[in-house]
Amino acid sequence: MKDLRTLMPHSKADTKMDRKDKLFIINEVCEMKNCNKCIFFEAKKKQDLYIWLSNVPHGPSAKFLVQNIHTLAELKMTGNCLRGSRPVLSFDPVFDQKPHYALLKELFIQIFSTPQYHPRSQPFVDHVFAFSIADERIWFRNYQVSSRFVYEHESVIVTGTL
């Protein structure tokens, strides 16, 4: 979660939710923080990790099972991404071929692209968020753009249904 927050200068964090709280509490938290997009991590039975992506308060929302994740620290690929830089979003052509993938593409664009003139963003680009589809799974990768090399920073596999 911290790696994603680091890569997204327009993010706002909140404390952990109690397991007894219902999911509609997220809408109230987003309203208090003046947010209209949400990424929510849900752990079930300390084994499965789910990620919710949603437009608040009226949707759509998508729930994914996270099957694999490699953090920046784990890979020891700290790279040189500058804090607050904007990402370029890259999508697999499959996202334009099926309607449910097109909806997810729009949701990813709205959540992961940095709003123009955001106070914590910088006017330059030095990394790419790549979304690709293989074996009915969505792969998310962060690449650093360098004049000499492209480094893979983080990989996440998510799969799920709308």
Give the residue, 20 or 86, on which the prediction is more confident.
86
Residue 46 lies in a domain: yes
Residue 152 lies in a domain: no
Read off the pLDDT band of 161 (50, 70, 90).
very low
Residue 118: domain span: 1-144
Q: State how many domains the chain has.
A: 1
User: What integer pLDDT is reported at residue 26 of this predicted model?
Assistant: 74
Mean pLDDT score, 57-82: 75
Residue 150 lies in a domain: no
Q: Where are the alpha helices (DSSP H) in 98-142?
A: 99-112
Read off the pLDDT band of 17 (50, 70, 90).
low
CATH code of residue 101: 3.40.50
Residue 20 lies in a domain: yes
Residue 71 lies in a domain: yes
Residue 130 lies in a domain: yes
> C-alpha angle 134/150/93, rounded to 5°?
30
Mean pLDDT score, 66-75: 77
User: Which parts of 1-113 are beta strand (E)?
Assistant: 37-44, 48-55, 61-70, 86-91
29/156 Cα distance (integer angstroms): 26
